[in-house]
Amino acid sequence: MKGKIKINATKIRGMILPIILIIIWQVFSSVGIFEKHLLPGPIVVMGALIELLKTGELITHVLATTYRVLSGFLIGASIAIIFGTLTGYYTKAFELCDPLIQALRTIPSLAWVPLFILWLGIGESSKLSLIAVGVFFPVYLNWVMGIRGVDPKYIEVGAMYHFTPMETIRKILIPATLPFLFTGLRTGLGLGWMFVVAAELMGASSGLGYLMVLGQNSSAPELILGSIIMFAVLGNITDTVLIYIEGKVLHWKESFKGGENNVSH
């Protein structure tokens, strides 16, 4: 019971600042500090979202964007885990491949757009590929650094028990590096939501990115702001799910809860 009270209190505290900012936003919009044709108040924005919800358009756009993000996330994360396992475990593979990957990691997301359009057209495959690229790099980086940061003594113990390379990876490296992997997955998922905006600029006819462009072309800032809010809400929901999965998988791991929670009285 006490645990539930703490969780609810944490959620309530997390809502305080957003509520304050929304109230300030509405007040400033109502008194004219924010020009309504440039920055309409949250009531207007929510009204626009409700109208889209009534017609079913909002559900269509949300499902299209969520599908692209989750599909691109699964593709990019899977490739990163497989490739990162090889380069993290085998030193020669790391020395051969990692410099190139680090160089590619610095390329801005929009720089990939014309290339993917040229190669794959403006269909779903180019969009998913762009999102997968955005997800790949943080997952790969955290996974590889986690593997290469494992204490060599653990590997020596595996050698004493005559572990094969696959047994070493499965029984030693993966458990020791799962916290790094989940950090990379959370970062990659966040970038997936960022990259989907660029992806949906590539000739999409649905999705929240498309809705933002529609709002720009029709001079409807409430659509742009509504899309941004939906991105924030959906991104937070998927991140919360990933945190929940991380808590279940890493239930054995103790972590720092904050100074006031660690001081003994």
Report domain extents, the chain.
1-34, 38-253
Give the residue from 107, 90, 76, 65 showing the smallest Cα distance to 238.
Answer: 65
Cβ pair 71, 129 in contact under 8 A: no
Per the listing, tokens 């994360």 go with 77
Q: Which residues contact 225 (CB under 8 A, 6 or more apart)?
A: 39, 40, 45
- One-letter amino acid for residue 129 of the chain: S
Alpha carbons within 13 angstroms on the beta-carbon side of residue 264 total 0
Distance CA 111, CA 117 (A): 11
Alpha carbons within 13 angstroms on the beta-carbon side of residue 136 total 21
Taking the alpha carbons at both ends of the chain, their separation in whole angstroms is 22
Distance CA 162, CA 156 (A): 10
Which CATH entry fits the domain spanning 38-253: 1.10.3720.10, 1.10.287.3510, 1.10.510.10, 3.30.450.20? Answer: 1.10.3720.10
What does residue 194 show for φ and ψ, rounded to 5 degrees? -75, -45
Distance CA 217, CA 90 (A): 51
Q: Which residues contact 78 (CB under 8 A, 6 or more apart)?
A: none
pLDDT by residue for the chain (265 residues), tens only, comes to 444 444 566 677 778 888 898 888 888 888 878 777 778 888 989 999 999 999 999 999 999 999 999 999 999 999 999 999 888 878 898 889 889 988 888 888 778 888 888 888 888 888 999 999 999 999 999 999 888 888 778 777 778 878 887 887 777 877 888 888 999 999 999 999 999 988 887 777 889 989 998 888 888 889 999 999 999 999 999 999 999 998 888 766 665 455 555 544 4
The helix (H) or strand (E) run that includes residue 231 is helix 221-249
Per-residue tokens: 125? 């495959």
Per-residue tokens: 56? 């079913």
Distance CA 36, CA 53 (A): 22
Rounded to two decimals, the pTM is 0.83
